[in-house]
Copies of this chain bind each other. A is one copy, B any other.
Amino acid sequence: MNHQKFDPLSQENSPILTCIKDIYKRYQPINEGNVATYIPELAKANPDFFGICITTPDGQIYQVGESQQSFTIQSISKPFVYGLALADHGVDKVMSKVGVEPTGEAFNSIVFDEDNNRPYNPMVNAGAIATTALIKGEGYEQRFDRILKMFEGFAGRSLTVDEGVFQSEKSTGHRNRAIAYLELNAGMLEGNLEEHLDLYFRQCSILVTAQDLAVMAATLANNGINPITQQQAVNPEEVRAILSVMASCGMYDFSGEWLYRIGLPAKSGVGGGIIAVLPGQFGIGTFSPLLDPRGNSVRGIKVCEELSQRFKFHLFDSHPVSQTCVIRTYTGAMVSSKRQRRGVQRDFLDREGEKILVYELKGDLYFATLEKLTRQLQNNQKTAKFIILDGHRVGNVNSSAITLLSEIKQWCFSQEITLILTGFEPKTTVRLQDNNWTDDIFVDTIDTALEWCENCLLSEEYNGITTVKNQFSLEEMDIFKAFTPEEMTALAPLFSEVSYQPNDFIIREGETSDRLFLLAKGMATVSLRLSQKEQRKRLTTYIPGIAFGELALFDINVSQRTADIVADTEVICYVLEFNRLKTLLNTKPEVYIKLLQTFGKTLVNTIKRATLEIRSLSV
């Protein structure tokens, strides 16, 4: 699968950008609300500024309007600093200092969770100050440097502080200072209060753009990995915590209604910014300094509401009800590996192949799609000795699916069933390996897995499948079943016996096709070189009695070999060079015709098998 990076400029005509521009135009005329005035510097904001940016986890940026305009991050800093506190101390310690309950009150309210002697949550000022107080470091400079670096990790670029706003906050933030002193008085804060307050005022004065906010939100959507730098800005556990507090308390006393109407974890700041996150999918950043009485950007809320409604982004918008992920099931009796088998082995596998069950999966794997697979497994457990789960059509695999696959593995073990996974992407197998799955469970293709299972069945029955019969005679070849002794007498002199050592090339890709081969002893494998790689794709393995290279019989001296055929063991072949057939045309044309018809019939059978395979693959 190609993972192409596109030039953002090339997205001018994108259906998504078109849609965002449309929303931008719709809400630009709105001039309700007021710029923040509680500190003098913020009152200078230009009320006309309006920018929207959406960023995907792989770094695609859609932006409209003043999305490059800087403004101070303000309260949007809170969830990020909360993440840093969690990384510094762990959940238990942080939870003992700051709760996670919404208050239903304004951002600057002076209420505390008195039962637990802590501020209610890290999104109100009281909780945010207590959170900042937890940030580790030696002294103000080092601590602020850690905070700034953290933000830079999220934004994917260097950030600066608006010193004017900082000084303004510091000199006029009397209410915040009061809150902090109340916390100090109640024993909720430790350490140097003025230093904590300076850090808090300064973190709020960091300059960002709507695009920065979108990238920060996309980092949260991307399990903590910054889409621009590909660096892990924050651990996934902290992402979960950050999104949870954003969802329950991110919009102050509008949080409940925001969750109700827009349904995305979000955070606003009095600088005019809003971030919102759809986990796994994208981050939104908006900027418009006109605020409603609760301190949330008027246009920002409208933009998010319209996006959520138009695209049904609400976390609880009607979810597709998941169907089973199984699109095809069959047994080893219905489909066999491409390894050719003869006689009793073929008959045995036709009977016992039922013990091999193949489930081909498609779509995304998560709890509900795999749950339905478990029912089908359940239903077939009596016959199964081997279960092959094929994932080559599988899309995303979420963490629930990883857990449930492990439960399925455990269950197979308890039922004495061998589980094999084929065709899953490496990023999935790596995650399963982290869950103590061993390498031998993962196989590239269904065919390889089927052959392995067949070999297991055969080796139980026959104590080893490679028991090599003595050399086949020419008459014993499959192709000559219907030939009379007289006809064989005419044909025999045309063949010569050739021996090969293991790993000898019998046929090389690209060679001229001027002969055909009958395998009298040993085994040989057909394989393709995959482009640009050392890897080979095995197509089939031949066993004695089989003809190969026979396509050329109908295209003498013109066609070239399309694959390599290599001896797996010592091999003996009967080889027919086509130029020897000329004599047959003169002496025994009816034998020549019979030979062509017999080989032609094998081609017809090949076509019929291929047609069936194409039909079943086209499901």
Contacts and interface: CB of A to CB of B under 8 A. Distances in A.
A13 B381 contact: yes
A416 to B, nearest CB: 13
A288 B403 CA distance: 27
Contacts of A249: 256
A374 B240 contact: no
B14 A396 contact: no
Give the interface centre of A121, A265, A378 by most chain B CB atoms within 10 Å: A378
A299 interface: no
Interface stretch (A24-32, A207-215, A359-367): A359-367
A16 interface: yes
A468 interface: no
A423 B224 CA distance: 36
Interface string A263-291: 10100000000000011111000000000
Interface string A11-29: 1011110110000000000
Contacts of A240: 263, 314, 316-318
A37 B248 CA distance: 30
A125 interface: no
A260 interface: yes
Contact of A378 (B10, B366, B613): B10
Interface stretch (A68-76, A184-192, A348-356, A551-559): A551-559
A345 interface: no
Contacts of A41: none
A618 B410 CA distance: 30
Interface string A580-599: 00000100011011001101
Contact of A253 (B101, B278, B279): B101
Contacts of A132: none
Nearest to A102: B102
Interface in A353-407: 362-364, 366-369, 371-372, 374-379, 381, 392-400, 402-404, 407
A43 interface: no
B323 A554 contact: no
A397 B320 CA distance: 7
Contacts of A4: 375-376, 379
B617 A16 contact: no
A611 interface: yes
A63 to B, nearest CB: 15
A610 interface: yes
B375 A6 contact: yes
Contacts of A317: 240, 398-400
Interface in A406-426: 407-408, 410-411, 415
Contacts of A562: 608
Contacts of A281: 319, 322, 366-368
A178 to B, nearest CB: 21
Contact of A244 (B260, B415, B618): B260
Contact of A280 (B254, B322, B326, B402): B322
Interface stretch (A156-164, A305-313, A455-463): A305-313
A100 B260 contact: yes
A256 B411 contact: no
A15 B410 contact: yes
A254 B115 CA distance: 13
Contacts of A553: 597, 600
Nearest to A310: B403
A322 B99 contact: no
Given A379-B6, A403-B310, A585-B590, A316 B11 contact: no
A396 B15 contact: no
Contacts of A257: 99-101
A223 interface: yes
Nearest to A1: B327
A554 B120 contact: no
Contact of A593 (B255, B279, B396, B593): B593
Contacts of A310: 403
Interface in A45-69: 56-58, 60
> What 7 A-B pairs are tightest by C-beta distance, nearest first?
A363-B395, A280-B319, A554-B600, A589-B589, A312-B399, A320-B396, A281-B368
5 contacts: A13-B415, A245-B260, A280-B320, A585-B593, A589-B589
Given A58-B372, A243-B316, 12 more contacts: A13-B411, A18-B410, A56-B371, A100-B259, A241-B260, A247-B316, A281-B367, A363-B394, A363-B396, A559-B604, A606-B607, A610-B614
